[in-house]
Every structure is written in structure tokens, then in C-alpha cells.
Structure 1
Amino acid sequence: METDEPLICLPGQRLSILDNKHVSGSGTYGRQGYIYSMLAGIVKVVEKDETEIIEVHCSNEQTLVPAPGDIVTAKVILINQRFCKCIIKCIGDVVLNRTYRGILRKEDVRANEKDKVDMYKSFRPGDIILARVMPITEVHTFHLTTAENELGVAIALSSNGVPMVPISWTEMQCPETLVKEFRKVAKVVPENINSLTQ
């Protein structure tokens, strides 16, 4: 790999082969035999023993990119019978400088009874969901899954614009009108759970 001139890269750009001599370092990730950039920045090659560690450094504020396995917060913008489209706004606790497109397919909504999933009873446009990023298959879209108890709709507004309260795994209720709506509800665990139980 040429290192004379600084090499500028973008998130998701393939940088190098991933093998015994080329290792993924900070700002990069390995997938299917190649090293890719997680950030927009400058590629650096650090030689250590017999290996080259491929890293990406940002001169300014870091641009995080969702990686497979990350828990993300996303807003549902469009829904049909087969999938819903989302905008990814946070990775873990970090609010992103820019948003990314995500797609949640019908078969990735629940872990069991996948054939019985009704997208319109799981999500609505405007819902804020917690989801896990699946292995990347498309360059510009991140595939998401909510097939875990902790994942699904975290925040939903009723038709009156009031935040709804979860009453079961599959329903949320407006506290003012008491109208119930179907959702794939996330089991949100509060961070101070230990102090609540003491």
C-alpha cells in the first residue's frame, strides 16, 4: 500500500486486503477479507513487527458510521407490507452529525412467528425505534433488525401527538384518550435499574 501521499477516504470505502500482514486498526473494520473505513479521514499505515495496521484518522470531529452489531436509534419515515424505511440518528449514546438510511424488513421484526408479522401493527411513521445493525449487504443502506426483546418501538406518539405508554409486548396506549395501538414494543431497561430495586 502506497503511503507517500496522504490518502483521503470516505466511510465504507475499501482500503486494503485483510490477511495476516494487513490488520484492521482504529477507524476501520474488516469484512469478507477486506478492510473498510468507518470514518471520513486520512488513511495511516502503522508497521508493527511483520504486519501493517490500517487506521483512519480525522482531522476534525469524527464521523461515526453504523457497524454490524451496533444498537442504533432510528426514526421510521415510510412503511409498507414488506419493510419500513428509517433514518438512523444515534449509534448507542452518540448523536450522529449526519443521518444514515436504514431498512427494516418484515422477516427481521421478530425472532419467532416471522410469517405472522404485520408491518402496520408493528411500526408507524414517526415512531422512534431501537434496532441492531445487521451485516452490510448494500453500500448506501443499513439493514436493521428488532428481533430481540430490548429492540422495537421506544417512543410513539398517538394521533393526538401525546407520547404513548407501553402496556404489553404488542400494544401501546394513549394516556389521555386511552386508545390502544399495536406496536412491536421495545423492552427499555432504565439505566438506574439497580437503584430502583434497592
Structure 2
Amino acid sequence: MKEEEEIEMVTPGEVLGKGSEVKAGKGAYLSPDNNTVFASLTGRRSLVHPSPHSPDQRPTVEVIGHKAHGPVPEPGCVVIARVTKVMARMASADIMCVGSKSVREKFSGVIRQQDVRATEIDKVDMHSSFRPGDIVKASVISLGDARAYYLSTAQNELGVVSAESMAGGTMVPVSWTEMQCPLTGQIEQRKVAKVGA
């Protein structure tokens, strides 16, 4: 019985072999500068051997993505997230989009009290900045801890972009700290994203 070849995980930019020994297949590319084959995505490294009649007897090296990859949040990029829980010092959110692309995997984010806005950080009240269900535009600060990305809404154009009022109406921003329910006229506090900035 043929031994299973060891599953080797690779990441983009990792060297997969010399161009003289292997051909670049899916998920790999050949750099003409140094005739080296590199991985272009994260996944398992796999060698596909040519048929015995093939004139080119080099095996093809491929990288098989561990699942169909959607976009992945990275520090500096802007994401759209839905607030799931608001606590005294932070809000949790599920990241739905990275830039304009929707994510396929579940990514969690945390907006800490010090990252809500740029000024008067010590006066930030998480419960008057966000509510569960709010859709926020935020930038990714860092990978945070193992469970969640750290997000920031400190810039003027970041913050709540869509929120539902207690009465179930889609609220309209009236200032950078308030949104109004069109059904009841009720004003609710939020850290609002500046529109058209």
C-alpha cells in the first residue's frame, strides 16, 4: 500500500520548489526572476505526477485551499460588521464584509472602549455607542487575540451605518452621536459614521 504523503500546509509566498524540478499548478506561480515556484494561497501542498508518456516529467505542484476562500480581514482594511453583544468596556461583532466583498467564514471582531472614537476616550459609554443588531463600518486594527479581530470606529467616517430603532424602523442619523427613528421621532444615542465624508 502506498504511504500517504504528509499533509503540508503552506501560506502565500512560501517556496514550493525550483522551476527546474516542478511545474506551478493551481494555487502556485513561477517567479521568472529566480526560477522558483511559490504558493499563491493558503492550503495543502500537493504534487501531481505526470503521465509516463508526458514529454515533461516534472511533477506539478499545487496548493489546494482548505475551503473556498472568501476575503480575510487584515490590519488596515475596512470591514462591515453586525454588533452581537454590548458590554461595559467593549462590543462584539460578526464581520460580514471585508471592503466590498462578503466573507464566507465566520470572523469575530471586538470594538474596545478606547477604539470607539478619537476624542474623550474616557467618557465613551459603550451602551450609547452601539446596540446589538447595529451595522457598523470599522477598520481592523490588529488580529487581536485568538478569538477576535480588534476593530476601531475612531475615524469620523467609521461607526454605525445602519440601526433599527426600538419600534423597528431603520433609523436616520441626525448628528454624529444620535440617530432618529422615522416612525416615532425617538432619538437614540449611537457612534454614527459620518456619511459622504
Asked whether the two chains share a fold, i.e. TM above 0.5, the reply is yes
The aligned counterpart of 2:125 is 118
Q: Does 1:160 align with 2:167?
A: yes
The partner residue of 2:151 within 121, 141, 144 is 144
1:49 is aligned to: 34
Are 2:8 and 1:7 equivalent residues in the alignment? yes
TM-score between both structures, scaled by the size of structure 2: 0.71
Query: CA-atom RMSD, angstroms?
Result: 2.7
Q: List per-residue Cα deviations over 1:26-48 (Å, max 9, x = no partner).
A: 9xxxxxxxxxxxxxxx8747454
How many pairs align? 159
Give CA-to-partner distance per residue, 1:58-103, whole Å, 9 cap, x none: 5674332111111111000101110000000111111112221111
TM-score, normalized by length of structure 1? 0.70
State how far apart, in whole Å, the 2-side matches of 1:156 and 1:137 are: 26
Q: Which residue number corresponds to residue 128 of structure 1?
A: 135
1:62 paired to 2:69: yes
Equivalent position of 1:178 in the other structure: 185
Gaps of at least 5 residues in structure 1 are 10-14, 16-23, 27-41, 191-198
Q: Aligned partners of 1:95 and 1:133: how far apart in 2?
A: 15
Identity of aligned residues (%): 41
In the alignment, which of 96, 104, 109 is matched to residue 97 of structure 1? 104
Alpha-carbon distance between aligned partners in 2 of 1:50 and 1:132, rounded to the nearest angstrom? 38
